[in-house]
Structure 1
Amino acid sequence: LSAALDIGTTFSGYAYSFKGREKDIEGCKNWGANVSVCNHKTPTAVLVNKDGKFEAFGYEAQERYKSLEEDELQMYSLYERFKMQLKHTEKLNRDSMSMALDQRSFPLMDIFTMTIRYLKDHLLKSVNRGHGRSVDSEKIRWVITVPAIWSGAAKQFMREAASKAGVRDINRPMQLIIALEPEVAGLYVASKYQTSGTSSRETDAFRPGLEYVVMDCGGGTIDITSYKIQPNQTLNQIYEATGSSFGGTKVDDAFVEFLSQIAGLDVVSTIRQESPIDWLQLMITFDHKKKTIQNKESDKLNIEIPYSMHEIAWEVTGRKLSDIVNNQRIPGVKCNKRMLIIDHDIIQDLFRNPVQEIVNHMKKLMRLPQLKNVSTILMVGGFSESPILQAAVKEAFGKRVKVLIPDDASLCVLHGAVAFGHNPNIVSSRVSRMTYGQGVMVTYDPEKHEADKQRAEVIESIERQTNMMLIYVKRGEVIKVGQVKEFTSFPVRVNQTQIDHEMYCTEKSDVGYVDEEGVEHVGSWTTPLEGKGLDREIKVRVFFGETELVVQTRQIGMGDKEWVQRSFDFLSS
């Protein structure tokens, strides 16, 4: 069984299929049925009680929170949009905290663990209910999707949360694969059209030899990767993954700023603090409407205003909310007792910045020589379903390339992850986003190191040049999946009992020292040493072609011991 979990910024879900019936992908299709909604995904929302115990997830979490009485609010906290903290939290570690709607904090690792455990349990119940039997846990390959632009620390964070949630056996690391969202989405769509058996505009876009770009436009991020289809139907990545934080939630941010302008910052701040349930409902309503609003001048956006907002406006300003808004005489904006009515021009303003940022980012990419042969742009992800974003991308690039938006754009990542679980080797090469290397000391050489003499240090009577960077892979370097790079390390002290390997990365292609500007420490691992002396040789194997870094080490001359796989620690505090 290949079982995929897609934890999005705003919505999450799962899907699965059995070996031998790979294309018969199943999942939950009726999320929200108890609240008269029927979706393939559910909101990424976790309800936690005052004791830190899990209460509910998704639509159920939101509905239970909205139904709380005022004296019950202190008993629960609702956590949403916590996924983006894995990208934006500086020095992400196991103690990083998440902030709830009521401004209370809770360990981020626990929030992710609760999310993964809930989706895992729901999936297993679905399999049992739909097929009348449970599945041996050892025969399940789990796939969790992440943005391609995420750091090693963020990927490790997800892996550790998954392990805590019981998704994998710690002794079977390949039971869980971390998959890259735009990559698996592109795989799914390409495979779907390649096997359709008909000749069409879409099928022709995914013939061997052709190149395409995947724009994964989600709630939190836009994630972009590019591939060339090989004769054997595998994919070669042709340029490093790029992206930004201009996902669909940036439109939400623009709406909040717009409300603050027309109703007053004090009114908006107060309703968020004093009536978080009504604020949640307001934003849920806007989120639903922003995905369906058409790119037509005649379209208006009608947003129902919670009663508490009228009360708060009167308490804060002594004026009716409708008077505050209407007396400003802003063209295209009206307010009455029930609705805030926004004309098309204002709607376009809300979308303008995030959409323009996405288009500008794509324009820079499409000018690169590496992408000169791209013939198709594939739009996937929930935000790709927005007609306004679709129109902007087609206007910018439609004359040069085909712009394709699958009917199931919001499910491409999830379904692609299931397929990837069955065949992780479908991608034959990837392009490194960063330059990676290890900090090392070498014997000081005046001819090589004189200009950087200040880094020299005498250790056990030997002068060594410190902080040098042994480069494993350079930014932009193409690495074949399964390709192995081998390096050698030696101790610098006779009685040294272990080698502490420190991993660094930088956006620069060429770097000499780990303390140069722009070089960041990203992780570490340790290799135990046997014996004594400076001639003890440690071989290091680095596998860079996978979605995550893999390292193996072995001490030479100790009976040719087997290679030992080492775990990076990207989350050191």
Structure 2
Amino acid sequence: MLDQIPAPVFRPEVRHHDLVVAFDLGTTSTTYGFSFKEKPWDISLPSEWGSSVGLSLALKAPNCILTSGQGAFKAFGYDAQQMWCWMSPNESKKFRYFDNFKSQLRSKGLTRDSMVYSTLGHQLPALDALAMTLSYLKKHAQKEVLIQTDLSLDLLAVQWVVTVPAVWSSSSKQLVREAAMRAKLINEVNSNNLILALESEAASLFWRQTNQSLINRYLLIDCGGGTVNFAAHRILADRRIEELVESKGIDVGGDSIDEGFLSLMEQIFGQDVMKNYKEECRTDWLQLKLDFTRAKTSLDPSQPGWRFLVPIASSFAECCRRISGRGLEQLIDARHRNRGVAIAGCNLLLSSHVIRELFDPVVNQIVQHIEEFLEKDPLKTVNKCVMVGGFGECHILQDALKKAFTSRLTFIVPREAGQCVVKGAVLYGHSPDSVAKHRSRKTYGIQVYEKYDPDIHNPDKTIQKDGETIAFPVFHTIITRGEETKSGEVRKFMFKPSSSKVKRIVSPLYETDKLSPVYANEAGVRKIGLITMELPGEGMDREVQCVFTFANSVIQVELSHVVPGKGQGTAAKVSVDFLSELC
């Protein structure tokens, strides 16, 4: 608990590295890129993804992990997928398959003991899942650098970058940093050798290089598998980027359409059929999902009378007969036939009406958030929208958004929309100050004591201390939601201990969407971390200097005590524990 004293501001140093390696951890798929500081724009992507399954040109790998029954790492990506699919039911009981686990890391209540769940309900610590992923990617990148450049990768000379969605909580981001330390990318949690880059900012950095027009103010939508992130940027005269408003995100994306398709399959053919097919015919089940995903992205809705074809394996027809006693066409009832569901040879035929119904819930949410964004004062004159991300390449989504904003926005889809994030993350690693100004996505603060003022404070939120009425717990704002901060800017404050006998400071860190919270325990204010520090000596004349740095999507804190008559003591960087079970 602290009493407050105001103080000035200072800037941190900028560091440089020989090589930047950036990991784009998507919900559905993962990739990485790298380049050297001499030629930062000469970005290389993996050349051997999928070679084990004959996909030599694949630029992304499926985000899945195979472990032993005891949780030991066995395989990642295509290798994990192939091994799992070809196992017999009895053999598979000895292993655990974790698919799309990143979607389980969005929770604001994550702790170090949080779990992710396999397709069959088995558990794996989330920290282990992330560490396994980063360790595998690190080793793959080492091999790739050697293949493409004939150079050995010096881990100490690498600037690592990991992309994160705007919707991720502080605890999710800290989990990534702790996993990176366990994977031996960095030696300490807050190491400058790891940067967490917002996906939307990374994509914007890459697009600005390919943008040869005079567009300098635009809305950017990063449409991924598990999230859609919204940002509004301006390109400055020096080609750096400035956030016009705080970015936001929603927990929908291309995967939501896939889930809707599988739900539709259950409605048509029955839950028992789909459950049995998933368990007994893993390879064909996976192929069904992949075929739908590819068709979803590539189909052109501008063609008259378009319909959607999904290949159906013979094993599915056999499963239907075995479980339900009926064939494919017999299972399609009149209601679904009238809506445009049919069997055409070895394909499931879905009408444009059925497909648009799958897209409508996702499209409606995206449209709603774009409309809310455009209502903000800095964006009322913005008329360009850049769409990036793998789901951003989907023509059905593009068509729906263009129709929704016909007279308001012009949509731009870069040629490499699906690679904008990873390539932009590499550029961000070379030049973190390329984003000149950020906007805080939350209001952050700590709790302090204040002298009671009846015009400001609630008399029910007071305590008696040394014969004086004190307001507590007062929310002391560090930064306000939407507030602009320059690249590398920090906030510096001076505090006094709450009593003369205090030997250790334990101060919670809070966040809220409110602009001006009064108390740390009011509705809508959430404890997200703990700041701790040993405080030597005794007396009320001691002071603590707190420096809060908001950089690269992470909050860092540096504390130092001021010794009476001797000036400032030793400064120490203090980790904010966002994963504490006490939060």
Output the TM-score relative to the length of structure 2: 0.91
Q: Is the contact between residue 479 and residue 545 of structure 1 (CA under 8 Å) also seen in structure 2?
A: no
> Which residue number corresponds to residue 65 of structure 1?
84
Q: Secondary structure at the match of 1:334?
A: strand
> Which residue number corresponds to residue 340 of structure 1?
348
Q: How far 1:249 moved relative to its partner?
A: 0.6
Query: Pick from 17, 33, 36: which aligns with 1:18?
Result: 36
Map 1:529-568 onto structure 2 (within 5 A). 529-544=535-550, 546-557=552-563, 558-568=566-576
Paired AA for residue 436 in structure 1: Y
Query: Pick from 429, 440, 448: which aligns with 1:432?
Result: 440
Any unmatched runs of 5+ in structure 1?
194-202
| 1:179 has 2:186 as partner | no
Query: Pick from 377, 380, 397: which aligns with 2:385?
Result: 377
| 1:124 has 2:142 as partner | yes
Q: Is the contact between residue 505 and residue 535 of structure 2 (CA under 8 Å) also seen in structure 1?
A: yes
Paired AA for residue 13 in structure 1: T
Paired AA for residue 323 in structure 1: Q
Map 1:6-405 onto structure 2 (within 5 A). 6-37=24-55, 38-87=57-106, 89-170=107-188, 173-193=191-211, 203-206=212-215, 210-273=216-279, 275-295=281-301, 296-325=303-332, 328=335, 329-335=337-343, 338-405=346-413
Q: In 2, Cα distance between the equivalents of 1:475 and 1:326?
A: 52
Any unmatched runs of 5+ in structure 2?
1-18
Q: How far 1:307 moved relative to its partner?
A: 4.5
> Which residue number corresponds to residue 196 of structure 1?
none
Q: In 2, Cα distance between the equivalents of 1:205 and 1:64?
A: 50
> Which residue number corresponds to residue 414 of structure 2?
406
Shift of the 515–353 alpha-carbon distance from structure 1 to 2, 3 Å rule, reads same
Q: In 1, Cα distance between the equivalents of 2:472 and 2:189?
A: 36
Paired AA for residue 310 in structure 2: I
> Which residue number corresponds to residue 197 of structure 1?
none
Paired AA for residue 100 in structure 1: S
Give CA deviations for 1:138-188 in whole Å, capped at 9, x if unaligned.
211000000123211111111111111111122871100000101010011
Q: How far 1:364 moved relative to its partner?
A: 1.9
Shift of the 534–274 alpha-carbon distance from structure 1 to 2, 3 Å rule, reads farther
> Which residue number corresponds to residue 570 of structure 1?
578
Q: Is the contact between residue 47 and residue 144 of structure 2 (CA under 8 Å) also seen in structure 1?
A: no
Q: How far 1:278 moved relative to its partner?
A: 4.1
Which deviates further from its counterpart, 422-431 or 296-305?
A: 296-305
Which deviates further from its counterpart, 108-117 or 305-314?
A: 305-314
Shift of the 157–541 alpha-carbon distance from structure 1 to 2, 3 Å rule, reads same
Q: Is the contact between residue 43 and residue 59 of structure 1 (CA under 8 Å) also seen in structure 2?
A: yes
Shift of the 264–135 alpha-carbon distance from structure 1 to 2, 3 Å rule, reads closer
Q: How far 1:275 moved relative to its partner?
A: 4.8
Paired AA for residue 322 in structure 1: E
Q: Is the contact between residue 322 and residue 336 of structure 1 (CA under 8 Å) also seen in structure 2?
A: no
Shift of the 15–442 alpha-carbon distance from structure 1 to 2, 3 Å rule, reads same
Q: In 2, Cα distance between the equivalents of 1:105 and 1:550?
A: 31
Give CA deviations for 1:47-102 in whole Å, capped at 9, x if unaligned.
11212111111111111111111221101221111112121x35111111111112
Q: Is the contact between residue 102 and residue 276 of structure 1 (CA under 8 Å) also seen in structure 2?
A: no
Q: Higher relative CO (CA 8 A, sep ≥ 6), structure 1 or 2?
A: 2
| 1:455 has 2:468 as partner | no
Q: Is the contact between residue 460 and residue 493 of structure 1 (CA under 8 Å) also seen in structure 2?
A: no
Q: Secondary structure at the match of 1:285?
A: helix
Output the TM-score relative to the length of structure 1: 0.93
> Which residue number corresponds to residue 417 of structure 1?
425
- What percentage of aligned pairs have identical amino acids? 33
Q: In 1, Cα distance between the equivalents of 2:441 and 2:118?
A: 33
| 1:501 has 2:483 as partner | no
Q: How far 1:358 moved relative to its partner?
A: 1.1
Q: In 2, Cα distance between the equivalents of 1:244 and 1:525?
A: 29
Q: How many residues align?
A: 558
Shift of the 7–187 alpha-carbon distance from structure 1 to 2, 3 Å rule, reads same
Q: How far 1:243 moved relative to its partner?
A: 1.7
RMSD: 2.0
Q: In 1, Cα distance between the equivalents of 2:391 and 2:292?
A: 14
Q: Secondary structure at the match of 2:436?
A: strand
Q: In 2, Cα distance between the equivalents of 1:301 and 1:528?
A: 64
Q: How far 1:425 moved relative to its partner?
A: 0.5
> Which residue number corresponds to residue 13 of structure 2?
none
Shift of the 311–44 alpha-carbon distance from structure 1 to 2, 3 Å rule, reads same
Give CA deviations for 1:317-366 in whole Å, capped at 9, x if unaligned.
33233311155533321136743222222222222221222122212212
Q: Secondary structure at the match of 1:287?
A: helix
Q: In 2, Cα distance between the equivalents of 1:415 and 1:188?
A: 6
Which deviates further from its counterpart, 388-397 or 414-423?
A: 388-397
Q: Is the contact between residue 359 and residue 392 of structure 1 (CA under 8 Å) also seen in structure 2?
A: no
Q: Secondary structure at the match of 1:563?
A: strand
Give CA deviations for 1:251-270 in whole Å, capped at 9, x if unaligned.
01110121122112333344
Q: In 2, Cα distance between the equivalents of 1:29 and 1:344?
A: 37
Shift of the 59–171 alpha-carbon distance from structure 1 to 2, 3 Å rule, reads closer
Shift of the 172–365 alpha-carbon distance from structure 1 to 2, 3 Å rule, reads closer
> Which residue number corresponds to residue 472 of structure 1?
478
Q: Is the contact between residue 278 and residue 308 of structure 1 (CA under 8 Å) also seen in structure 2?
A: yes
Q: Secondary structure at the match of 2:402?
A: helix
Paired AA for residue 389 in structure 1: L
Q: In 2, Cα distance between the equivalents of 1:276 and 1:500?
A: 51
Q: In 1, Cα distance between the equivalents of 2:140 and 2:466?
A: 59
Q: Is the contact between residue 481 and residue 546 of structure 1 (CA under 8 Å) also seen in structure 2?
A: no
Q: In 2, Cα distance between the equivalents of 1:547 and 1:353?
A: 30
